């Protein structure tokens, strides 16, 4: 067996290598008694949120995000689509007066031109989207920003006429007048296909046909696509793949999907009470965060990074419709959390605290110790390198070399995460099964977990020939036990 040794000092590099999908939050403001934009920005920074979507270009909000390095997605509302589409000068003036005064101090990276325009029952908004997008892009080109600020539009899953099985995904032909030129624009300019996805509605409307666990990423069973044989453990992946197959059917294979809204309500009308709850919201959003940052991808595109924005920062009491429409918030107006989330995803999506936090999605101390005992016992691991005075010894660290040979071994019950960076450094070298340094790094797997232990803060790390499993164990005695 080849000896594979790693150091914990490379942990952040490893995590950076496997954590590629970005998690953002939508900052809607259709509500009373919300904190000022300045206070909202402080809240966002406090919770390590790096990406934010707003639905307009409010000057006070843009000012508040200045000098924060938070990446901001701004929006051209549907009400502006017609004038933007009719005259280039309107887009030029808007960019000059409403965007450029705040850029680049405020880090604007995306402009969404219209929001779910095909779902607007009172206007012909979708017919103005592509001309408006083209004029906004031209305005950006004039000032040399077309490569730094991407232009797209957001749509709902309603643009599909068929979404199951995923491989049969197809766009609604009644939107062909709008979709094809829009997709041509996205492909030509390497802009993402932005979509708002809500598995919640599928469960709410058909609770007898859709499993709650399936939409919450908690299902132990799988749904098979009979055409491809691919297995789906959650509805989110199935919806994303339906869109990818629909894009492929129209020969748009290079367009990437970005989910600009998803989430779960904490409260609903009587007909929604079985679905809308804080527990379900916490579970769904925690799982979608973890799913995103660990680059799990979808069955048709495994390991492919995709950015996701969670809806929404606050409840929005001015919205109409069922009660759930007003109860998607992650925070109360006083800026306390409705439930706990770790937006980095490095703690399994759950935010830990000094009292232990939410233990769902983490490995227990028994499991951690079991893994350690196996590695140094039946796993035939040479653990001497982590002993004091040895090359890879570091305080509060256990480094365990090992070698396994299958992706099944890498999965560790489905919580392993593949990484692609060679973590070798100095005298700690990652050696392949063939004995050579793997400069390109083969498949690897990382697992984050947090658990109570009597051994203080320590990390249990071992490297596998095809997978790297990182077990993080944090003491309850620490005042801040949030995962790295």
Q: Write out the catalytic residue numbers.
A: 116, 261
Q: What are phi and psi of 179, to 5 degrees?
A: -70, -45
CB 10 within 8 A of CB 443: no
DSSP line for 153-200: EEEEGGGEEE-SSGGG-EE-GGGHHHHHHHHHHHHHHT--EEEE--HH
Structural tokens at position 387: 């002993």
* 334 Cβ contact partners less than 8 Å away, ≥ 6 residues apart: none
Comparing CA positions, the residue from 76, 31, 34, 82 lying closest to residue 55 is 76
DSSP, collapsed to helix, strand or coil, labels residue 331 as strand
Structural tokens at position 273: 């009470």
Three-state SS sequence of 368-430: HHHHHHHHHCCCCCCCHHHCCCCCCCCCCEEEEECCCCCHHHHHCCCCCCEECCCCCECCECC
CB 441 within 8 A of CB 465: no
Long-range contacts of 159-165 (CB under 8 A, 24+ apart): 159/118, 159/195, 160/242, 160/243, 160/246, 162/242, 163/238, 163/239, 163/242, 164/238, 164/242, 165/225, 165/226, 165/227, 165/228, 165/238
Structural tokens at position 208: 């007898």
Structural tokens at position 144: 């040399």
Q: What are phi and psi of 177, to 5 degrees?
A: -60, -30
Using left for φ > 0, alpha for ψ between -120 and 50, and beta otherwise, residue 480 falls in: beta
Exposure pattern of 449-475 as b/e (b: 16+ CB <10 Å)? bbbebeeeebbbbbbbbbbbbbbbbbb
Structural tokens at position 301: 């595109």
CB 160 within 8 A of CB 239: no
CB 316 within 8 A of CB 30: yes
């Amino acid at each position: 067996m080849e000896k594979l040794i790693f150091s914990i000092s490379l942990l952040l590099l490893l995590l950076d290598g496997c954590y590629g999908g970005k998690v953002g939050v939508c900052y809607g403001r259709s509500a009373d008694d919300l904190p000022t934009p300045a206070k909202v920005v402080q809240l966002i920074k406090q919770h390590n949120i790096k990406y934010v979507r707003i639905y307009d270009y409010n000057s006070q909000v843009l000012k508040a995000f200045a000098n924060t390095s938070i990446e901001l997605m701004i929006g051209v509302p549907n009400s502006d689509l017609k004038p933007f589409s009719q005259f280039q000068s309107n887009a030029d003036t808007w960019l000059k007066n409403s965007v450029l005064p705040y850029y680049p101090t405020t880090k604007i990276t995306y402009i969404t031109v219209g929001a779910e325009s095909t779902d607007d029952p009172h206007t012909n908004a979708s017919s103005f989207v592509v001309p408006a997008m083209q004029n906004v892009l031209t305005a950006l080109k004039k000032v040399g920003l077309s490569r730094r600020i991407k232009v797209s539009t957001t749509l709902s899953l309603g643009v599909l006429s068929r979404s199951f099985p995923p491989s049969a995904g197809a766009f609604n032909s009644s939107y062909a007048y709008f979709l094809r030129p829009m997709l041509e624009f996205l492909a030509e300019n390497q802009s993402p296909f932005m979509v708002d996805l809500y598995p919640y509605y599928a469960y709410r409307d058909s609770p007898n046909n859709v499993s709650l666990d399936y939409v919450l990423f908690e299902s132990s069973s799988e749904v098979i696509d009979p055409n491809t044989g691919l297995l789906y453990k959650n509805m989110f992946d199935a919806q994303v793949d339906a869109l990818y197959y629909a894009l492929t059917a129209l020969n748009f294979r290079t367009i990437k999907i970005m989910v600009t809204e998803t989430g779960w309500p904490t409260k609903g009308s009587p007909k929604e009470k079985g679905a809308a709850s804080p527990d379900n919201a916490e579970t769904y959003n925690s799982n979608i965060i973890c799913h995103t940052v660990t680059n799990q991808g979808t069955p048709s595109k495994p390991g492919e990074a995709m950015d996701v924005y969670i809806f929404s920062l606050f409840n929005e009491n001015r919205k109409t419709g069922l009660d759930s429409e007003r109860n998607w918030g992650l925070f109360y107006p006083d800026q306390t959390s409705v439930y706990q989330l770790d937006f980095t995803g490095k703690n399994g999506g759950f935010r830990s605290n000094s009292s232990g936090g939410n233990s769902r999605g983490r490995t227990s101390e028994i499991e951690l110790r079991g893994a350690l005992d196996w590695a140094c016992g039946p796993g035939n691991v040479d653990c001497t390198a982590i002993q004091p005075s040895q090359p890879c010894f570091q305080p509060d660290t256990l480094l365990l070399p090992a070698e396994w040979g299958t992706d099944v071994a890498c999965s560790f019950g489905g919580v392993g995460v593949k990484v692609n960076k060679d973590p070798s450094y100095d005298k700690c070298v990652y050696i392949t099964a063939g004995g050579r340094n793997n400069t390109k790094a083969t498949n690897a797997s990382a697992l984050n977990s947090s658990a109570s232990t009597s051994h203080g803060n320590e990390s249990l790390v071992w490297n596998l020939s095809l997978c790297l499993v990182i077990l993080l164990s944090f003491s309850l005695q620490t005042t801040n036990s949030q995962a790295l």
